[in-house]
């Protein structure tokens, strides 16, 4: 028999107590509230999930979180077009003895590079707009296990999904399945994605 841990984090004592009762009804062999190993497992699962959603480019590009990547892809074209529109009047100024079309090509190339750079950096700073700077929710800097009450249930591998569904129905801050040694296996629900 292979055992797993279903680890949930709940907002308050009442929700944690309901989760314990639901896990026991669903077939958990033991349920612990506030266990140190479960606390650590939840922290590791949340950090692992954040790293899985991080993009690292070649060289010294990145790492960028999912929110930062969304912001960059949204704002880069906006700033680029804005710079290119604002650059058109500059092409009207005679310089270097170039024709208007040559001046237009030069200022548009500079505006393209400048706008893309500013837009990319701005997008990284503001993120996806749902959170604060760099995609960080300024109201909640702590990880889920640091804010809520951790409930861990030991389950037989065959019962893991049933216990996880019962615990997920109580709207945890996050819910993960881990191995008995604490190694992260899968994330069932998070604040951003509360699907049971």
- CATH number of the domain at 151, please: 3.30.70.260
Q: Which residue range(s) make up the domain with 164?
A: 3-53+139-189
Question: Would you say 9 and 145 are in contact if contact means Cβ atoms under 8 Å apart?
Answer: yes
Residue 56: band (very low, low, confident or very high) from pLDDT cuts 50, 70, 90: low
Residue-wise over 141-159: b if at least 16 C-beta within 10 A, else e?
eebbbeebbbbbbbbeeeb
Position 146 in a domain: yes
- Same-domain check for residues 49 and 72: no
- Same-domain check for residues 73 and 22: no
State the total domains in the chain.
2
Residue % of the chain over a pLDDT of 70: 72
- Same-domain check for residues 15 and 49: yes
Nearest to 8 by CA among 36, 33, 44: 33
**pLDDT the model gives residue 51:** 65
Give the number of other CB atoms < 10 A from CB of residue 135: 21
**pLDDT the model gives residue 139:** 46
Residue 189: band (very low, low, confident or very high) from pLDDT cuts 50, 70, 90: low
- What is d(CA 107, CA 49) in angstroms, rounded to the nearest whole number? 44
Of the residues 134, 151, 175, the one at which a domain ends: 134
Position 58 in a domain: no
- Same-domain check for residues 77 and 48: no
Of the residues 87, 104, 134, the one at which a domain ends: 134
- Same-domain check for residues 96 and 122: yes
- Same-domain check for residues 10 and 41: yes
Position 59 in a domain: no
**pLDDT the model gives residue 104:** 93
**pLDDT the model gives residue 196:** 47
- What is d(CA 33, CA 19) in angstroms, rounded to the nearest whole number? 10
- What is d(CA 17, CA 23) in angstroms, rounded to the nearest whole number? 10
Question: Would you say 95 and 28 are in contact if contact means Cβ atoms under 8 Å apart?
Answer: no
DSSP state of 182: S
Q: What is the pTM of this model?
A: 0.56
Position 180 in a domain: yes
Position 83 in a domain: yes
Position 122 in a domain: yes
- Same-domain check for residues 71 and 129: yes
Per DSSP, the residues of 137-177 read -TT--S-HHHHSEEEEEEEEGGGHHHHHHHHHTT--SEEEE
pLDDT for 134 beyond 50: no
- Same-domain check for residues 46 and 71: no
Average pLDDT score over residue span 28-44: 72
């Amino acid at each position: 028999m292979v055992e797993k841990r279903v680890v949930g984090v709940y907002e308050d004592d009442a929700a944690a107590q309901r989760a314990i009762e639901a896990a026991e009804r669903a077939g958990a062999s033991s349920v612990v509230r506030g266990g140190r190993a479960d606390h650590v497992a939840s922290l590791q699962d949340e950090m692992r999930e954040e790293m899985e959603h991080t993009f690292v480019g070649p060289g010294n590009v990145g790492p960028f979180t999912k929110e930062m990547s969304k912001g960059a892809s949204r704002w880069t074209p906006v700033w680029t077009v804005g710079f290119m529109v604002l650059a058109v009047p500059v092409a009207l100024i005679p310089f270097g003895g170039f024709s208007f079309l040559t001046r237009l090509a030069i200022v548009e190339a500079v505006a393209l590079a400048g706008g893309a750079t500013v837009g990319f950096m701005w997008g990284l700073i503001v993120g996806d707009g749902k959170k604060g700077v760099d995609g960080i929710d300024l109201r909640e800097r702590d990880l889920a296990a640091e804010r809520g009450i951790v409930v861990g249930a030991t389950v037989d591998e065959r019962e893991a999904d049933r216990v996880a569904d019962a615990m997920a129905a109580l709207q945890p801050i996050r819910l993960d399945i881990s191995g008995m040694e604490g190694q992260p296996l899968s994330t069932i629900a998070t604040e951003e994605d509360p699907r049971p």
